[in-house]
Structure 1
Amino acid sequence: MSEGQNLSADHFGAERARAIYDMENSTIFASRKDPRFSYCTYAPARKHAEGQQPALVVVMHGTGRAFTEYRDAFADFAHWNNCIILCPLFPAGILGDGNRDGFKQLVEDNIRYDHILLDMVEEVGNKFDCDFRRFALFGYSGGGQFANRFCLLHPQRLWAVSIGAPGSVTLLDTNSDWWIGVKGMQEKFGISPDFETLKKLPVHMIVGKADLETWEITHREGGKFYMPGANKAGATRPERIATLRKSFQDAGVKVHLDLVDNVAHNGLACVRQVQDFFADVLFKLRFDHNCEMVDR
């Protein structure tokens, strides 16, 4: 076999591997920033349709870490809306202590989960030759807590956010300490609340009307996240998301709330409404000349 034939075979092998492991339902990749964390993607095989750059949608898992299930649930949406889906995996007990909840607070010991995600976004953008300076973020349950807090720290990085059924909420309350409110956010994260940017961000919230169990979300003295006022947003997830919505609206942030009939605590049962919201925002971003996917 000639050198040219070898190069041709190598090129074919590389392209074939990319088609199998990178396009559509990807394999699981370790994060380049910190290989303790990983992610999978869905990228439509015919990306850049009609010269249009794909948008990025990040779907954050909850405590159950069902990240591939969420990836699969967004595959058709990605195909029909020219999007790439990124689903991170933040394993439970990353410090060897069995903690399932660290990622929900964005910080655990010296780990900044928001920074890990932002590097994954850059990594995926490089992989697919896309500019993902802005992306959409959806999280449900524990992922809803992550989405709630991430959008407070990094609203300028998002073109939309969907906060699903968080068990605990961080309100736009400058009189309450973090994590209940945003007082002390600058000291903890080095970032102050940017209310003006939040006002421009399309915000969606969603919860099942039958999501009424409280055993997992009631904070008790001695609990790892307990602080006075930890339960003041309400007893159930619908009550807490209603309080969260009011705090956003009181700060001038518009919120679209979906209360889903006959749904208890089931994120996959809420995916259609999230996708409808993102599709509407995408349509406006792509066809309104006054609004762009990235800052120029």
Structure 2
Amino acid sequence: MQRSRVSSVVTDHRAASPAGTLPARLIQPASRSGLPPLVVLHGISRNADELVDLFRPEAEASGRPVLVPHFSASRWPHFQRPCRAARPDQALLALMGHLAGFDPAFAGRLDVFGHSGGAQLAHRFAMLYPQRLRRLGLAAAGWYCLPDAGMSHPCGIGADADPDTLVWARRHRAVLAEYLGLRVEVYVGTLDVGRDETLRQTPRLDREQGPNRLARAETYVARFRAAARAQGIRPDIALIRLPGVAHDVAQAIRQAGLARCVTHETPALASAC
């Protein structure tokens, strides 16, 4: 009887940081292609194990390692954005440093992807550490930090009367040009137009970004392009609408091939989503 060939292994890791310990699972394909590792960030459903299962076939097909951290509800009740009370960015940096001890590829630029709350963390992490990223993928974020100094943090990169916003604004502005030079792909379902209880809703946010995730993705892409051009940077950002997909990452992967688009390098795959 011929045994099936094992084409990947999944290993468990954890790394401590001043912000707390962050566990993760790493999909390691048996054959490596040379593509950089991909970090996949879950949303508030915290479905890290499901994402491991959904991304594993694409990790094997693409020959790239895929890292899926798990922000537990007990340790990380709020992980969607770095703030004074929570620093998931520090935990991610520590995790990357830990893995670099096993695989030097983690010391270089990585691709980072997030869905929903994970997309919120992914783009805010990129705004702080663009030098650690090669490519950024965002799917259906609830709302965005826009690269606009006329809007105070966390909705933009400006400051108001709160001294805390000045600290974040200065950090974002210091690396803004490098952030705007990243390759970015924004995915959103054409049916992701609901206003459920997990969508942040304020009159100001609805007015400035739109009433739902589809509209807010469109706003983010438009504002990113405008900010890049204002700095003389040619924006490398695409908005990819997923036909017939609602706010469901498993549906987006199974029906629209989202994991394939994110994991593989072929531009045609993204345009086919």
TM-score using structure 1 length: 0.74
1:187 paired to 2:172: no
- Give the C-alpha shift of residue 44 in structure 1: 1.2
Counterpart Cα distance in 1 of 2:42 and 2:66: 13
Q: Tell me by how many angstroms 1:189 deviates.
A: 7.3
Report 1:239-254 matches (<5 A). Answer: 239-252=215-228, 253-254=235-236
Partner of 1:55: 36
CA distance in 1, matches of 2:221, 2:267: 22
Match of 1:38 among 10, 23, 26: 23
1:280 alignment counterpart: 265
Match of 1:124 in 2: 99
Partner in structure 2 of residue 134 of structure 1: 109
Q: Whole-Å Cα distance in 1 between the matches of residues 23 and 205 of structure 2?
A: 31
Change (3 A) 1:267 1:108: farther
2:249 to 263, 267, 279: 267
Give secondary structure in 2 for the equivalent of 1:191. helix
SS at match of 2:119: helix
Q: Return the alpha-carbon distance in structure 1 between the equivalents of residues 263 and 55 of structure 2.
A: 11
**Pair 1:70-2:51 in alignment:** yes
* Structure 1 residue 106: Cα displacement: 1.8
Structure 1 SS opposite 2:107 = coil
Quote the Cα distance in structure 2 between the aligned partners of 1:281 and 1:135: 17
Q: Which runs of 5+ in 2 are unaligned?
A: 1-5, 160-164, 229-234, 269-273
Mapped to 2, the partners of 1:276 and 1:30 lie a distance apart of 28
Question: Following TM superposition, by how much is the alpha carbon of 1:73 offset from its aligned partner in structure 2, in angstroms?
Answer: 1.7
Q: Are the equivalent residues in 2 in contact too, given 1:139–1:162 (CA < 8 A)?
A: yes
SS of the equivalent of 1:207 reads strand
Structure 1: unaligned runs, 5 residues or longer = 1-19, 221-227, 284-296
Q: Percent same amino acid among aligned pairs?
A: 23
Please list the CA deviations of residues 109-128 of structure 1 after superposition, one character each: whole Å capped at 9, or x if unmatched.
2x411111011112112123
| Residue range with higher mean Cα deviation, 196-205 or 32-41 | 32-41
TM-score, with structure 2 as normaliser: 0.80
Find out whether 1:196 has 2:177 as its counterpart.
yes
Aligned partners of 1:160 and 1:278 also within 8 Å: no
Count of aligned pairs: 244
Query: What is the identity, as a one-letter code, of the residue corresponding to 1:182?
Result: I
Quick check: 2:113–2:262 contact (8 Å CA) kept in 1?
Answer: no
Which residue does 2:81 correspond to in 1? 105
Q: Secondary structure at the match of 1:105?
A: coil
Equivalent-residue separation in structure 1 for 2:177 and 2:104 (angstroms): 31
- From the CA coordinates, give the structure whose radius of gyration is larger: 1
- RMSD of aligned residue pairs (Cα, Å): 2.6
Q: Alpha carbons of 1:92 and 1:123: their partners in 2 closer, same or farther (altered >3 Å)?
A: same
Q: Matched residues in 2 for 1:69 and 1:233: separation? A: 30
- Contact conserved, 1:138 with 1:144, CA < 8 A, in 2? yes
Structure 1, 231-240 or 126-135: larger mean CA deviation = 126-135
Q: Of residues 115, 123, 145 in structure 2, which corresponds to 1:148?
A: 123
After TM superposition, give the deviation of residue 90 of structure 1 in Å. 1.1
**What is the alpha-carbon distance in structure 1 between the residues aligned to residue 21 and residue 169 of structure 2?**
22
**d(CA) in 2 for partners of 1:87, 1:188:** 27
- Give the 3-state SS of the residue equivalent to 1:280 in structure 2: coil
